[in-house]
Amino acid sequence: MNDNKVALITGASRGIGRAIALKFAKEGIAVALTARDESQMKNVSDEISALGGIQPLEIPADLRDISQIPAISKRVINEWGRIDILVNNAGLGYLKPFLEIKPEEFQEMLDVNLRALFLLTQDVLPHMIERRTGNIVNIASLAGKNGFKTGTGYAATKWALRGFAQCLMLEVREYDIRVITIFPGSVETGFGSGGVSPTGTPSQNKIQSVDIAETVYLAVNMPDRTMLSEIDMRPSNPAKK
């Protein structure tokens, strides 16, 4: 089913991006990884090789720097000739009271969570339009649909992502390109402050990265006529002991 499919995954050095890369590779998809941390990316790549997956491409890049973005998709197209799935996953959140968020922290969230995703999608989309096929997967957050204390900056980027994704979905589905946006609640990763989520869910009851990876895989393998355009993910029982 996945013969010759190619995925580009941002934020693939750890957390949710790593889990998506491992799941895709296990299913026979060739994965291109991008992130800043080269040694963590190499670890993910080694894990994939150990599983017998296709040797990943490792593309170091800092998404805060727009000059580094065009080379990411160029490298994948040069090496593998196509991108079937773009996973816009890289992101960060400074979760703290509004008056404590520094201008440079707000800027970093805007640059990585929104601007880089916008620009990278612009780079990848023409190749998908040319082939009239493709999946663009965005990892948003339930913070992109609900407000919470300490979320002013982070939620603003994720609400903006939702607006971007809805508009893009309507523009590109006529080319048989799906735009799939996932809105997870708290996921057990090193993201943010760790421990308890803004909604108070204890860490052992949180969604796991592998759950997101399974969902992304399911969504990109739906029958061609169907698109899961928005997916909310919550713990099924946050209070379970």
Ligand X SMILES: NC(=O)c1ccc[n+]([C@@H]2O[C@H](COP(=O)([O-])OP(=O)(O)OC[C@H]3O[C@@H](n4cnc5c(N)ncnc54)[C@H](OP(=O)(O)O)[C@@H]3O)[C@@H](O)[C@H]2O)c1
Binding residue for ligand X, selected from 56, 134, 153, 184, defined by CB under 6 A: 184
Binding residue for ligand X, selected from 190, 195, 200, 223, defined by CB under 6 A: 190
Residue 208 CB partners (closer than 8 Å, separation 6+): 19, 187, 188
Region binding ligand X by CB under 6 A among candidate stretches 22-30, 32-40, 72-80, 222-230: 32-40
CB nearer to ligand X: give 169 or 183: 183
The residue written with tokens 């491992």 in the block is: 22
The least CB distance from residue 6 to ligand X, in Å, is 19
155 binds ligand X (CB under 6 A): no
72 binds ligand X (CB under 6 A): no
Binding residue for ligand X, selected from 21, 128, 139, 156, defined by CB under 6 A: 139
The least CB distance from residue 214 to ligand X, in Å, is 15
Binding residue for ligand X, selected from 5, 7, 9, 13, defined by CB under 6 A: 13
Number of residues forming the site for ligand X (CB under 6 A): 28
Binding residue for ligand X, selected from 73, 189, 201, 215, defined by CB under 6 A: 189
User: Counting Cβ atoms within 10 Å, is residue 223 exposed (0-12), middle (13-18) or buried (19+)?
Assistant: exposed
141 binds ligand X (CB under 6 A): yes
The tokens of 203 are what?
Answer: 């860490």
37 binds ligand X (CB under 6 A): yes
45 binds ligand X (CB under 6 A): no
The residues annotated with a catalytic role in the active site are: 154
Binding residue for ligand X, selected from 2, 121, 150, 186, defined by CB under 6 A: 186
The least CB distance from residue 41 to ligand X, in Å, is 7
Contact string (CB under 6 A) for ligand X, positions 85-124, x = contact: ----xxxxx------------------x------------
15 binds ligand X (CB under 6 A): yes
Phi, psi dihedrals of residue 27, rounded to the nearest 5°: -90, 5
Q: What is the 3-state secondary structure (H, E, C) of the chain?
A: CCCCCEEEEECCCCHHHHHHHHHHHHCCCEEEEEECCHHHHHHHHHHHHHCCCCCCEEEECCCCCHHHCHHHHHHHHHHHCCCCEEEECCCCCCCCCHHHCCHHHHHHHHHHHHHHHHHHHHHHHHHHHHHCCEEEEEECCHHHCCCCCCCHHHHHHHHHHHHHHHHHHHHHHHHCEEEEEEEECCEECCCCCCCCCCCCCCHHHCEEHHHHHHHHHHHHCCCCCCCCCEEEECCCCCCCC
Which residues of this chain interact with ligand X, rule CB under 6 A?
11-17, 35-37, 40, 62-64, 89-93, 112, 139, 141, 184, 186-187, 189-191
